[in-house]
Structure 1
Amino acid sequence: MRASKMTSSHCRSVTPPLSRAGSGDLVPCPLSPDLTRRALSPDLSLDFSRHRPLSPIDRTLSLSPDFPRRSRSPTRPRSLMESLLVAKMEALSTGKLVRTDSMDSCSSFGSMSSLPSDVCRCDDCLLGIVDFYLPAPDSNKGLKKQSERWRKLRNIVQWTPFFQTYKKQRYPWVQLAGHQGNFKAGPDQGTILKKLSPQEERCFKLLMKDILRPFVPEYKGQVTCEDGELYLQLQDLLSDFDCPCVMDCKIGVRTYLEEELAKAKEKTKLRKDMYEKMIQIDPKAPTEEEHRSKGVTKPRYMIWRETISSTSTLGFRIDGVKKADGTSSKDFKTTKTRDQIVEAFKDFTASIPTAVPRYLERLKSIRATLIESNFFRTHELIGSSLLFVHDKRKASIWMIDFAKTVPVPDGTNIDHNSAWKVNNHEDGYLIGIDNLISIFESLIKDNNGNIECFSNLTLDKNVRMDTLAT
Structure 2
Amino acid sequence: MTVSSKMNSVSRQSMLGRFGPGGLLYTANKLIAVAAGKDEDRWRSKNEGALFKRWKRAAPSVEPAPPMPAPTTPTSQPSDLLKFLAINALELSAPASDALLKTRSSEWFQLSGHPGSLAPAGPGTVWKRRAVGDHPSHNPERDAYEALAACPHMRSAIPRYYRELEYGGEHFIELQDLLHGFRDPHVMDIKMGTRTFLEEEVSNARARRDLYEKMVRLDPSAPTEAEHAARAVTKLRYMQFRENSSSSAEQGFRIEAVKLPGQLPLTDLQKVREPKHLASTVARFIGKDERARTAIASRLREIRDLFEKSDFFKTHEIVGSSIFIIYDEERVGAWLIDFAKTRSLPEGVHVTHRKPWEQGNHEEGFLYGLDRLIETIETAKLPEVCLEPDVSR
Structure 1 length normalisation: TM-score?
0.60
Letter aligned with residue 439 of structure 1: T
1:10 equivalent in structure 2:
20
CA distance in 2, matches of 1:351, 1:161: 39
| Structure 2 contact 124–180 (Cα < 8 Å) conserved | yes
The equivalent of 1:219 in structure 2 is 161
CA contact (8 A) 2:19 2:123 kept: no
Of 102, 124, 147, the match for 1:190: 124
SS at match of 2:114: coil
Structure 2 CA distance for partners of 1:370 and 1:238, relative to 1, 3 Å: same
Given the alignment, which residue of 92, 116, 125 partners 1:181? 116
Most deviating of 320-329 and 395-404: 320-329
Q: Which of residues 206, 215, 223 in structure 1 aligns to 2:147?
A: 206
1:316 aligns with 2:253: yes
Deviations 1:151-200 (A, max 9, x none): xxx9xx9646867479xx956452314332222221x3211011135111
1:213 maps to amino acid: R
What is the deviation of 1:376?
A: 1.4
Counterparts of 1:181 and 1:165 in 2: how far apart (Å)? 14
Amino acid in structure 2 at the alignment position of 1:181: G
1:234 aligns with 2:175: yes
Displacement of 1:328 after TM fit? 0.8
Range that drifts further, 322-331 or 231-240: 322-331
Deviation at 1:291, TM superposition (A): 4.0
Partner of 1:259: 200
2:339 counterpart (402, 427, 451): 402
Instruction: Find out whether 1:424 has 2:361 as its counterpart.
Output: yes
Q: What is the distance in 1 between the residues matched to 2:282 and 2:55?
A: 22
Q: Which residue of 2 aligns with 1:143?
A: none
Q: Which amino acid aligns with 1:433?
A: L
Q: 1: distance between equivalents of 2:381 and 2:283? A: 11
**CA 1:205/1:342 → structure 2, altered by over 3 Å: closer, same or farther?**
same
Contact 2:325–2:335, Cα closer than 8 Å, also in 1: yes
| Letter in structure 1 aligned against 2:215 | M
How far apart are residue 258 of structure 1 and its match? 1.5
Partner of 2:135: none
Is residue 374 from structure 1 mapped to residue 308 from structure 2 by the alignment? no
* In structure 2, distance between residues paired with 1:319 and 1:93: 30
Q: Is contact 1:247–1:320 with CA below 8 Å preserved after alignment?
A: yes
Relative to structure 2, which stretch is displaced further, 213-222 or 367-376?
367-376
2:287–2:382 Cα contact (<8 Å) kept: no
Deviation at 1:361, TM superposition (A): 0.5
Residue 230 of structure 1 deviates from its aligned partner by 1.1
Deviates more, 1:384-393 or 1:193-202: 193-202
Counterparts of 1:253 and 1:161 in 2: how far apart (Å)?
A: 39
Percent of aligned positions that are identical: 32
- For residue 287 of structure 1, what is the aligned residue in structure 2? 224
Residues 339-369 of structure 1 show CA distances to partners (whole Å, capped at 9, x for unaligned) of 1110000111227443111111001111111
CA gap of 1:411–1:178, structure 2 versus 1, over 3 A, is same
Matched length: 320
Shift in CA distance, 398/93, structure 1 to aligned 2, threshold 3 Å? closer
Higher share of residues assigned helix: 2
Letter in 1 for 2:237: R
When normalised by structure 2's length, the TM-score is 0.71
Deviations 1:118-153 (A, max 9, x none): xxxxxxxxxxxxxxxxxxxxxxxxxxxxxxxxxxxx
User: 1:18 Cα shift?
Assistant: 6.7
Greater Cα offset, 330-339 or 284-293? 284-293
Which residue identity is paired with 2:109? V
In 2, Cα distance between equivalents of 1:378 and 1:92: 41
User: Is the Cα contact below 8 Å between 2:257 and 2:269 reproduced in 1?
Assistant: yes
SS in 2 for 1:10: coil
Instruction: Tell me the amino acid that sits aligned with residue 218 of structure 1.
Output: R
User: Counterparts of 2:222 and 2:281 in 1: how far apart (Å)?
Assistant: 25
SS in 2 for 1:175: helix
Q: 270, 282, 295: which one pairs with 1:345?
A: 282
Deviations along 1:291-318, one digit per CA (max 9) or x if unpaired, are 4555433222111111111111111111
Q: 1:245 aligns with which of 157, 171, 186?
A: 186
**Aligned AA for 1:249?**
I
Shift of the 285–208 alpha-carbon distance from structure 1 to 2, 3 Å rule, reads same
Is the contact made by 1:9 and 1:243 (CA closer than 8 Å) also made in structure 2?
A: no
Residues in 2 aligned to 1:294 and 1:223: alpha-carbon distance in whole angstroms: 45
Residue 328 (structure 2) pairs with residue 391 (structure 1): yes
Distance across 1 between alignment mates of 2:194 and 2:238: 15
Q: CA deviation at 1:283?
A: 2.4
List gaps (5 residues or longer) in structure 2.
1-17, 58-89, 132-138, 385-393
Larger RCO (alpha carbons 8 Å, 6+ apart): 1
SS of residue in 2 equivalent to 1:224 = strand
Change (3 A) 1:326 1:420: same
C-alpha root-mean-square deviation of aligned residues, in Å? 3.6
**Residue equivalent to 2:241:** 304
